[in-house]
A and B are shown apart, each in its own frame.
Chain A
């Protein structure tokens, strides 16, 4: 908020990080460190309104990717006529991200406290925790929930199909309502009409963790870190050619190079960094080193942290081949409900594959550009737009490589093993 904050690099004012991670896995540890849920501080109608106000003043933005102001979403849901429902989104279907799973493992009770507070703020009686099915996480959460006595909400765990688009908010609502994990056309949006036709607050689990801290320490404390428009700390998953790939808590406003240094720095010369996962943007390196990262879009490519997946690609890997492979995956993950996604994404993936591996020429590029433009903005959900954003950024970031490929030269990078991660387990159906 203050000019002092802006004069200094944002992270120089950092009190001890982490804020979110390292709060204790067990309920007893968590309560010892943080005490109970401060519901009494926000008692009654006045208290609920004050809680929403504090989240708004804190400037917290959603950590699920879109970066929407959380306080505004709370206020919208709270103003509905029916009793709302809270969906805590911990699905994290993004293969390059595991910050939500990490948070739910290392600090589950911080997230659950935040969900209780969010439910209190909007007047909800029920919280549904959405996590991908399979693995041990759903059962571990069941056990932690059983430990918690006296929470003023009814808990439920929804086990969501392992599909890329099933973690999108309309898909979560659709699954909870009908058992079908495909996105549905909006409007009405979940905050207007969601689970059982009720106003539904869909918040990422990290967002809820921040709410739990803001309720305890206040908006000014929250704003001690970060930028004016994107305050606080944020979780990122750093992968690729860095010394220690892992989940880290960073501060919005940090530069790409500094974020990579948090993971021990690059282990070889980098060609590009993918910021924001598979709906994200390729940033060429080393030029991109000093680009600040936050939930505000930066630079001509509109780079944003999104859900915080950051991947360092070595200079001798082929960004076009990586992009072609991931675009194929995104095409396969289409819910095949609308034409632009069902036909457009496979066609774009085919063209990218031709560019990366096969025989192609200027006509291939023209067709690819035309198809990207044709699909953009026409999907039922944001899946095709996310995929085309990713493809477009590759054509820009790897423009020189593109010329080489189009002129029929072989690229040594295509023979390197694929780097960007794909999920090991994928569901086929939607139920």
Chain B
């Protein structure tokens, strides 16, 4: 068992929290595309080192806190 911090960082989206603002797509087009309804399709494979800072910026910018790097989905309710 490895702790989450030892896993390579990955992007995840909480599909319930996400309401398709689309900010993440603007900030991280390398890893995020959009479906035809404007919702993000997130590449969840391990992030290369040179993208981690960009990914964290996209996470910080998400208006609904739906995007996460590494880790468990945000708990809601």
Contacts of B77 on A, CB cut-off 8 Å?
A: 174, 178, 184
Q: Which residues on B sit within 8 Å (CB–CB) of A338?
A: 15-16, 18, 39
Given that A374-B41, A379-B15 are contacting pairs, would A339 and B35 also be in contact in the complex, using a CB cutoff of 8 Å? yes
Q: Would you list which residues of chain A between 351 and 389 have a CB under 8 Å from chain B?
A: 371, 374-375, 378-380
Which chain B residues lie closer than 8 Å to A186 at the CB level? 73
Is the CB of A187 closer than 8 A to any CB of chain B?
yes
Query: Bound state CA distance, A380 and B12, in angstroms?
Result: 12
Count residues of chain A with CB under 8 A from any CB of chain B.
20
Cβ-defined contact, B14 with A185, below 8 A: yes
- Which chain B residue shows the least CB distance to A339? B39
Binary interface encoding of chain A residues 81-124 relative to chain B, with 1 for a CB under 8 A from any of its CBs, else 0: 00000000000000000000000000000000000000000000
Residues from chain A with Cβ under 8 Å of B73 in the complex: 185-187
Q: What residues on A are CB-neighbors of B37 within 8 Å?
A: 339, 343-344, 347
Q: Mark B36-49, 1 if CB is under 8 A from A, else 0.
A: 11110100000000
Which chain B positions have C-beta within 8 A of A188? 72, 75
Given A178-B77, A185-B76, A374-B41, A344–B18 Cβ distance below 8 Å? Answer: no
Q: Would you call B27 an interface residue if the criterion is a C-beta within 8 Å of the partner chain's C-beta atoms?
A: no
Give every chain B residue within 8 A of A344 (Cβ-Cβ): 35, 37
Verify if A404 is at the interface (C-beta below 8 Å from B): no
- A378-B16 in contact (CB<8A): no
- Chain B 8-41, CB-CB to A under 8 Å as 1, else 0, gives 0000001111111000000000000001111101
Q: Answer whether residue A340 sits at the interface, using C-beta atoms and an 8 A cutoff.
A: yes
Residue of B nearest to A335 (CB): B16
Q: How far apart are the CA atoms of A59 and B66 in the complex, in Å? A: 39
Cβ contact within 8 Å between B15 and A380: yes
Classify the secondary structure of B's interface with A. loop
Say yes or no: B20 contacts A378, CB within 8 Å: no
CB distance from B24 to the nearest CB of A (A): 13
Q: Find chain B residues with CB under 8 A from A379 CB.
A: 15
A147 close to B (CB within 8 Å): no
A41 at the interface (CB under 8 A from B): no
A415: Cβ under 8 A from any B Cβ: no
When C-beta atoms are compared, the residue in chain B nearest to A177 turns out to be B77
Residues of A near B18 (CB, < 8 A) are 338-339
A185 B15 Cβ-Cβ under 8 A: yes
B15: contacting residue among A174, A340, A374, CB under 8 A? A340
Q: CA A81 – CA B39 in complex, angstroms?
A: 38
Contacts of B41 in A (CB 8 A): 374, 378
User: With a CB–CB cut-off of 8 A, which chain A residues contact B75?
Assistant: 188
Q: Can you list, as one digit per residue, whether each of A321-338 has a CB less than 8 Å from chain B (1) or not (0)?
A: 000000000000000011
Q: A288 CA to B39 CA in the complex, in Å?
A: 39
A193 to chain B, nearest CB (A): 9
Can you name the residue of chain B whose Cβ is closest to the Cβ of A341? B15
CB neighbours of A374 from chain B (8 A): 35-36, 41
Chain B nearest CB from A189 CB (Å) reads 11
> Can you sample 10 A-B contacts with CB below 8 Å?
A337-B16, A338-B16, A339-B35, A339-B37, A339-B39, A344-B35, A347-B36, A371-B36, A374-B41, A375-B35
Give 7 nearest A-B pairs by CB, closest first: A339-B39, A338-B15, A343-B37, A380-B15, A380-B16, A337-B16, A185-B16
